[in-house]
Amino acid sequence: MNIKKTNSFFNRNKWLLLLTLVFIIYSFFRFINLDERIPFAWDQEQFSNQIRGIIKDHDFTLLGPRVTNDRGFFLAPYFTYLLVPFYYIFNLDPNALILFIVVLNISFFALSTWTIKEIFNIKNSLVFLLLWAINPLLVKYDSTPWWPILIPLGVILTIYLLYLLVKAPKKILLWSLLGVTLAFFLNMHFQFIFIALFVATFLIAHFRFKLTNHWLGLIISSMSFLIMFLPLVIFDIRNKNLNLNLLLAFFNEKVLNDQPYYQAWQPVFTNFIYPLTRWNNTMVVILFFVVFTALLIYLIKIKKNFVKTLYISTLVLLMITALGFSLYGLRPSEYYFVYLYPFIYIAAADFLLMHKKYFLIPIILIFLVVINLASLKNSLNIDPGGLQFKRKVAESIVPYTKGKKANVTFDMPIDTNTGYIYLLEVYGVHRSGDWNDPLIIIRSPSQKGDIVFRDIGVRIPPELK
Three-class HEC string of 389-453: HHHHHHHHHHHHHCCCCEEEEEECCCCCCCCHHHHHHHCCCCECCCCCCCEEEEECCCCCCCEEE
pLDDT in tens, 278-306: 888 889 999 999 999 999 999 999 999 99
CA distance 175 to 148: 24
Report the amino acid identity of residue 395: E
Give one word for 445, left, alpha or beta, with left for phi > 0 and alpha for psi -120 to 50: beta
CA distance 212 to 208: 9
Q: Decide if 237 contacts 245 (C-beta within 8 A).
A: no
What confidence score (pLDDT) does residue 255 get? Answer: 44
H or E element: which one contains 215? helix 215-227
CA distance 358 to 388: 43
Q: What DSSP string runs through 24-36?
A: HHHHHHHHTTHHH
What confidence score (pLDDT) does residue 212 get? Answer: 79
Cis status, amide bond into 332, omega within 30 of 0: no
> CB neighbours of 384 closer than 8 A, spacing ≥ 6?
454, 455, 456
What confidence score (pLDDT) does residue 256 get? Answer: 46
pTM of the model: 0.92
Q: Which of 118, 209, 205, 200 is nearest to 167 (CA)?
A: 118
Q: Which of 449, 375, 381, 453 is nearest to 32 (CA)?
A: 381
Number of H helices, E strands in the chain: 22, 4
Q: Where are the domains of the chain?
A: 15-379, 387-464
What confidence score (pLDDT) does residue 4 get? Answer: 53
Burial of 446 (0-12, 13-18, 19+ CB in 10 A): middle
pLDDT in tens, 102-158: 999 999 999 999 999 999 999 999 999 999 999 999 999 999 999 999 999 999 999
pLDDT values of the chain reduced to their tens digit, one per residue, 465 residues: 455 555 555 567 888 899 999 999 999 999 999 999 999 999 999 999 999 999 999 999 999 988 876 678 999 999 999 999 999 999 999 999 999 999 999 999 999 999 999 999 999 999 999 999 999 999 999 999 999 999 999 999 999 999 999 999 999 999 999 999 999 999 999 999 999 999 999 999 999 878 878 899 999 999 999 999 999 999 999 999 999 998 888 777 654 455 667 888 999 999 999 999 988 888 999 999 999 999 999 999 999 999 999 999 999 999 999 999 998 878 889 999 999 999 999 999 999 998 887 888 999 999 999 999 999 999 999 888 899 999 999 999 999 998 888 999 999 988 888 999 999 999 988 888 888 889 999 998 889 889 998 889 999 998 888
The 3-state DSSP class for residue 74 equals: strand
Q: Decide if 418 contacts 74 (C-beta within 8 A).
A: no
What confidence score (pLDDT) does residue 329 get? Answer: 78
What confidence score (pLDDT) does residue 1 get? Answer: 46
Report the amino acid identity of residue 40: F
